[in-house]
Amino acid sequence: MRRPDLSPLASGDLAKIASLLDRPVVAIDVGSRDGVRASWRSLGPNALLVGFDPDPEECRRLEAASADRQGERYVPLALGAQTGPRTLHLTRDPQSSSLFAPAPRALERFPELWRHEPVRTETLELSTIDEWALGSGLEELDALKVDVQGAELEVLMGTAGLLSSTRIVEAEVEFQELYTDQPLFCDVMVFMRGAGFELWRVRELHHCGLQPARRGEPVFGVGDYVERTRLGGQLAWGNAIFVRGALADASAALDWQVRARDACLAAAFGLPELVELGLSQALVSAPAPAAATIEEVLRRARRRGRSRRARDLLVRAPSHLRGFLGARLG
Whether this model's pTM surpasses 0.75: yes
Please check the confidence at residue 329 and state whether its pLDDT lies above 80. Answer: no
What per-residue confidence (pLDDT) applies to 318?
63
What per-residue confidence (pLDDT) applies to 328?
58
pLDDT, mean over the chain: 91
Please check the confidence at residue 1 and state whether its pLDDT lies above 50. Answer: no
What per-residue confidence (pLDDT) applies to 3?
46
What per-residue confidence (pLDDT) applies to 327?
56
201's enclosing H/E stretch is strand 197-208
Q: List the beta bridge partners of residue 234.
A: 208
Please check the confidence at residue 309 and state whether its pLDDT lies above 80. Answer: no
Each residue's pLDDT tens digit, 58-73: 999 999 988 777 899 9
Each residue's pLDDT tens digit, 84-135: 999 999 999 988 999 999 999 999 999 999 999 999 999 999 999 999 999 9
Q: For residue 149, what are the contacts with CB-CB under 8 A and spacing of at least 6? A: 31, 95, 96, 97, 98, 99, 100, 172, 179
325's enclosing H/E stretch is helix 319-329
Percent of the chain with pLDDT over 90: 75
Average pLDDT over residues 184-204: 97
Name the H helices within 53-151.
Answer: 56-65, 104-109, 129-136
pLDDT tier for residue 2 given thresholds of 50, 70 and 90: very low
Cβ–Cβ < 8 Å for 181, 198? no
What residue segments make up the domains of the chain, in order of their start?
Answer: 11-82+124-199+238-329
- Rounded (10°) CA dihedral 190, 192, 193, 199: -100
Q: Determine the topology of domain 11-82+124-199+238-329 in CATH.
A: Rossmann fold (3.40.50)
Tell me the C-alpha distance between 172 and 67, whole Å: 28
Q: Work out the number of other CB atoms within 10 angstroms of the CB of residue 305.
A: 16
**Diameter over CA atoms, the chain:** 64
What per-residue confidence (pLDDT) applies to 322?
55
What per-residue confidence (pLDDT) applies to 330?
52
pLDDT tier for residue 305 given thresholds of 50, 70 and 90: confident
Residues in the chain: 330
